């Protein structure tokens, strides 16, 4: 059989650099959605802690251990990223593989919040959006997840909209960098 080469969602789009700002692709490995059944959240957290060392995150937060992250993605929903789900959640949660469905970006450098302030209707300044915060919101008209983790802003969007997502952010980066350059 032919040997197939895996291509990441942003392979031909990234990185983008503008002044002090960098937009790069993050390759999270497997992404698994975990949706606890009614009343099972505590049991899910215990199973995840025992197997992986991270709990199910509270709303608007993520939990992490090393490269492993469990990111809140909505009402009774979180994504496990950076490791295979080894906990047995049978009877506790609905679990699906999301690995190929998302593009994961990291925006870093001075002014990163100013870039997203042009696109996202939520306050992402460090005081309101500290390390470990993770929200669902919009970027333009696209539904995304935004988190602050590892010294940058992580933006997750649908893979089918990867090109639009990168273009929107790159345009805003150019505007912010130009304004910074103009003093």
Binding site for another protein (CB under 8 A): 59-60, 74-75, 77, 121-122, 135-138, 143
* CB closer to another protein out of 125 and 179: 125
What is the SS3 string spanning the chain? Answer: CCCCCCCCCCCCCCCEEECCEEEEEECCCCEEEEEECCCCHHHHHHHHHHHHCCCCCCCCEEEEECCEEEEEEECCEEEEECCCCCCCCCCCEEEEECHHHEEEEEEECCCHHHHHHCCCCCCCCCCCCCCCEEEEEEECCEEEEEEEECCEEEEEEEHHHHHHHHHHHHHHHHHHHHHHHCC
Q: How far is the CB of 135 from another protein (least distance, A)?
A: 7
Q: Which is nearer to another protein, 52 or 136 (CB)?
A: 136
> Residue 30 CB, nearest distance to another protein (Å)?
23
What minimum distance in Å lies between the beta carbon of 116 and another protein?
13
The distance of closest approach from Cβ of residue 112 to another protein in the complex, given in angstroms and rounded to an integer, is 20
* Pick 52 or 62: Cβ nearer another protein: 62
Measured from the CB atom, is 3 or 141 closer to another protein? Answer: 141
């Amino acid at each position: 059989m032919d040997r197939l080469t895996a291509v990441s969602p942003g392979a031909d789009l990234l990185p983008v650099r503008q002044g002090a700002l960098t937009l790069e692709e993050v390759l999270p490995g497997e992404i698994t959605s975990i949706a606890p059944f009614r009343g099972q959240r505590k049991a899910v957290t215990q199973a995840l802690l025992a197997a992986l060392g991270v709990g199910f995150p509270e709303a608007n937060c993520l939990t992490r251990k090393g490269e492993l992250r469990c990111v809140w993605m909505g009402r009774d929903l979180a994504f496990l990223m950076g490791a295979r789900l080894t906990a047995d959640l049978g009877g506790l949660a609905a679990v699906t593989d999301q690995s190929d469905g998302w593009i994961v970006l990291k925006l870093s450098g001075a002014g990163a919040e100013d870039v997203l302030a042009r696109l996202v209707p939520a306050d992402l300044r460090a005081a309101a959006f500290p390390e470990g915060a993770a929200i669902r919101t919009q970027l333009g008209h696209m539904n995304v997840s935004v988190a602050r983790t590892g010294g940058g802003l992580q933006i997750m969007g649908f893979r089918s909209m990867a090109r639009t997502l990168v273009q929107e952010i790159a345009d805003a980066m150019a505007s912010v960098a130009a304004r910074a350059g103009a003093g």
